């Protein structure tokens, strides 16, 4: 299994890293728990389990998206997650693919799932469109620290960007993630946004060179809004509704 691999520390623009304003309480990152290997392990452990909402058998891609959405302990299929967010299922899948492409740890799980489906001999097109594969371009699209994220979804930062001096950007909470990267960073963000009220802004400082790509990608799929960013600072507005997965199947 191959991922993007560690990024060279030399790509960090050392002299221009501002610190967070100190007017809000700050906590420190937890221990790192998400790695490419742990995502792949979760894929293997949960593949074939029943969706907690509709009972459909999960495939690996469902598991990867569920991890991104914070559903690790109560896995649900992608269709149920999309419905819980009020999203069109096909659009949600496409958005998730675009995001996972940027998030190395999760991408590893997606590619692993692609390969497992491919090895099965007959691709279950009706269950999961083949066009969502990522394994074919696995080796040729290394994400650069300075890549501008593509903007394909309505919650993308580029369509909602505001000026940092806008009073609406006054953060409710802040989080100094240091150089935490990829999987752990987005896991932390999910946990820190969860207790906030809809519309609250979390100011994040993330020095990882992948953050300029990772954070917009994660916001796009989770429906939180990256309202402004000046790396390494990111202003994330909590979405209106947490995904409240249904307990029964919807029509």
Which tokens sit at 246? 């249904």
What is the spatial order of strands in the sheet that 201-206 belongs to? Answer: 173-178, 201-206, 233-237, 225-230
For 109, residues 6+ apart whose C-beta sits below 8 A from its C-beta are 36, 39, 40, 42, 43, 60, 63, 64, 67
Which of 69, 77, 182, 196 is close enough to bind Zn ion by CB under 5 A?
Answer: 77
Report the distance separating Cα 184 and Cα 56, nearest Å: 28
85 binding Zn ion? (CB under 5 A): no
CA nearest neighbour of 171 among 30, 29, 69, 22: 22
- The residue range among 19-27, 48-56, 174-182, 207-215 that interacts with Zn ion, by the rule CB under 5 A, is 48-56
51 binding Zn ion? (CB under 5 A): yes
- The residue range among 20-28, 36-44, 54-62, 137-145 that interacts with Zn ion, by the rule CB under 5 A, is 54-62
Instruction: Pick the closer one to Zn ion by CB: 84 or 206.
Output: 84
For 158, residues 6+ apart whose C-beta sits below 8 A from its C-beta are 149, 151
Distance in Å, CB of 78 to Zn ion, minimum: 8
Distance in Å, CB of 134 to Zn ion, minimum: 22
63 binding Zn ion? (CB under 5 A): no
Which tokens sit at 23? 């007017």
177 binding Zn ion? (CB under 5 A): no
Count residues near Zn ion (CB under 5 A): 6
CA nearest neighbour of 174 among 196, 199, 198, 207: 196
- The residue range among 13-21, 73-81, 125-133, 206-214 that interacts with Zn ion, by the rule CB under 5 A, is 73-81
Instruction: Pick the closer one to Zn ion by CB: 74 or 151.
Output: 74
53 binding Zn ion? (CB under 5 A): yes
Instruction: Pick the closer one to Zn ion by CB: 23 or 248.
Output: 248
80 binding Zn ion? (CB under 5 A): yes
84 binding Zn ion? (CB under 5 A): no
| 3-state SS, residue 197 | coil
Report the distance separating Cα 142 and Cα 5, nearest Å: 9
Q: Which chain residues interact with Zn ion by CB under 5 A?
A: 51, 53-54, 56, 77, 80
């Amino acid at each position: 299994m191959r991922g993007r691999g560690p990024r060279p520390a030399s790509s960090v623009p050392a002299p221009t890293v501002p610190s967070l304003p100190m007017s809000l309480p700050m906590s420190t990152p937890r221990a790192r728990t998400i790695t490419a290997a742990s995502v792949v392990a979760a894929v293997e452990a949960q593949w074939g389990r029943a969706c907690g909402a509709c009972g459909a058998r999960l495939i690996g891609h469902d598991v990867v998206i569920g991890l991104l959405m914070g559903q690790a302990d109560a896995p649900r299929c992608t269709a149920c997650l999309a419905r819980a967010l009020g999203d069109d299922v096909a659009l949600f899948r496409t958005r998730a693919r675009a995001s996972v492409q940027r998030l190395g740890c999760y991408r590893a799980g997606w590619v692993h799932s692609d390969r497992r489906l491919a090895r099965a001999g007959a691709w279950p097109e009706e269950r999961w469109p083949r066009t969502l594969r990522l394994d074919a371009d696995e080796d040729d699209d290394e994400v650069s620290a300075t890549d501008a994220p593509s903007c394909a979804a309505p919650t993308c930062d580029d369509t909602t960007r505001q000026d940092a001096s806008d009073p609406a950007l006054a953060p409710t909470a802040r989080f100094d993630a240091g150089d935490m990267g990829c999987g752990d960073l987005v896991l932390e963000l999910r946990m820190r946004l969860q207790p906030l009220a809809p519309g609250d802004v979390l100011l994040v400082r993330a020095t990882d060179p992948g953050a300029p790509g990772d954070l917009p990608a994660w916001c796009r799929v989770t429906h939180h809004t990256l309202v402004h960013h000046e790396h390494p600072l990111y202003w994330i507005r909590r979405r209106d509704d947490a995904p409240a997965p249904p307990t029964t199947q919807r029509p």
